Amino acid sequence: MKLGVFYSELRGNHDVLFRLKAEKLGIFLVSNGIYHAIIKEKGEPSPVLQKQGADYYVLSEDLQTRGFSTDEVDSNVKVVTYSDIADHIMNDYDKLAWL
């Protein structure tokens, strides 16, 4: 299964995210979830970015809304637009989930 997950929380329990198993896993950081692509805790990237084998995306419009630039995004996270997300949904992932 190819699973796309929309992650919109800044704080919360990340256990569900780490239990997910998929042939291909894409994690879309949207809404307040974009902070995981920006903020470092004690010099380390967010724990959300530690899921092995996952592809990470952050929505550029949500970055801009919160006053961040693409230059501030962690190097493991690809900045995408709404159009890019629609393309990923239609072409790359069989199932979608929202956490």
Pairing state between β 40-41 and 44-45: antiparallel
The number of domains in the chain is: 1
> What are the tens digits of pLDDT across the range 56-91?
999 999 999 999 999 999 999 999 999 999 999 999
Angle at 69 between CA 47 and CA 26, to 5 degrees: 45
CATH number at residue 46: 3.40.1260.10
Parent domain of 94? 2-98
Residue 74 confidence (pLDDT)? 95
Has this prediction a pTM greater than 0.85? yes
